[in-house]
Copies of this chain bind each other. A is one copy, B any other.
């Protein structure tokens, strides 16, 4: 039994079988002209007004190391679906195309290309599944997290989602996407180590239960971590807060507990009563953090009601983007061998040609995006940048803090107009309608 971990040396095989059967058929037909593919989101989920593009860095890493291992070729041969001459070519296939993309942390909308691939038909096609998988998880994650961060109104949001995220890779890629979207820290230690993200966390209920009683548990934890945030709801939340107060008296000037965490019950009521108890004991500096099934809606409600909360641990709902657990991503052929291409299926039609998106800003606010043909020069900032040329990066990987700053600045620059106006340039409209005729 294989462990089933994905890595740079087997990622080329993390693809849909039809990518390979199509490649075999193109090979048989001797077709390998230059293709343009767009990766975009067709429609935003009902509960999203914007998306935060994310995931490009790992796509570029994949493209740089793309190659079928000997083991992969042996497996493909065993399927009996591919010719030896085709497999010989496949074993030498590398990605040598160009990549245009919006930088990570950029706010994007429906139909705007997040990544545009210009490559030989074979190269552009085989990478489809991986690009969609990775751009979706990161963009979906960053888009959800940006909303949670906005709802928290400057209070720190900590990612607690690893245990409920969909597998190990979601745990890694989303922790990174969340940080780019403005989340303050993650509980995921490996993500902290891999991406240089701050890590945070204190104790679980099981810790408290291990001891004879709650105050004994708190006493021990504080001995190891004096300025910790303490989980107070294992047995009874307000009793837990009383235990903190008792410890403050016991420890006197040594007492340095920084906060309490409420993880169940009526968080509005419990946060108010906890604040009262703490303030009444002179513990104004002890903060109150909340967790327990939070999302942007719950946080907004709590803060609107005046809940005296200083920060949030957000797990399941952010970690699974539970109100919108997928994006309607598409990866579509826009041009082949110099000819514009379009799909006309009902409700799923696409736009032809290589593109550019121009974003107009007024008084520091985004006012309009125009999706245009790449060769057009319109007003506003072009969002798609050349990230890879002939299979090589055009620049060093971006620092994660740069992406994070971009995202937080852009979310603040969002127009209050909903839906945000995105139009198609007259030139692109003309080309698309010429195609329909």
Where the two chains meet, the residues of A that have a C-beta atom closer than 8 Å to any C-beta of B are 1-8, 10-11, 13-22, 24-26, 28-29, 31, 35, 37, 57-58, 61, 71-72, 75-76, 79, 81, 121, 125, 128-130, 132-134, 136-137, 140, 160, 162-174, 176, 187-195, 199-207, 209-210, 220-221, 223-225, 228, 233-236, 263-265, 316, 319-322, 325-327, 329, 331-333, 336, 341-348, 397
Contact = CB atoms under 8 A, between A and B. Distances in A.
Nearest to A71: B193
A132 B164 contact: yes
A22 B264 contact: no
B203 A6 contact: no
5 closest pairs, A vs B, by CB?
A167-B169, A17-B201, A166-B166, A18-B201, A169-B169
A149 to B, nearest CB: 20
Contacts of A234: 343-345
Contacts of A22: 203-204, 206-207, 221
A218 B171 CA distance: 41
Residue among A24, A76, A172, A220 with max Cβ neighbours from chain B (10 Å)? A172
Given A25-B220, A133-B162, A167-B133, A190 B13 contact: yes
A191 B13 CA distance: 9
Contact of A163 (B3, B16, B171, B333): B16
A193 B16 contact: no
Contacts of A221: 22, 25
A121 B169 CA distance: 27
A164 B326 contact: yes
A168 B6 contact: yes
A209 to B, nearest CB: 5
Given A21-B203, A133-B171, A210 B35 contact: yes
Contact of A164 (B25, B31, B329, B344): B329
B5 A7 contact: yes
A160 B194 CA distance: 30
A234 to B, nearest CB: 6
Contacts of A348: 264
Contacts of A342: 209
Q: Which of A11, A137, A347 has the most C-beta atoms of chain B within 10 angstroms of its own C-beta?
A: A137
Contacts of A29: 220, 223-224
B21 A162 contact: no
27 contacts: A4-B169, A4-B173, A4-B195, A5-B8, A10-B190, A13-B189, A13-B190, A14-B171, A16-B188, A17-B188, A18-B204, A19-B204, A20-B189, A29-B224, A75-B192, A133-B162, A136-B163, A136-B166, A166-B320, A167-B172, A205-B333, A209-B333, A209-B341, A234-B344, A264-B347, A319-B326, A322-B325
Contacts of A195: 1-2, 4
Nearest to A316: B326
A187 B168 CA distance: 21
A4 to B, nearest CB: 5
Contacts of A5: 5-8, 169, 172
Given A171-B133, A190-B14, A343 B4 contact: no
B4 A191 contact: yes
Contact of A14 (B26, B168, B205): B168
A225 B81 contact: yes
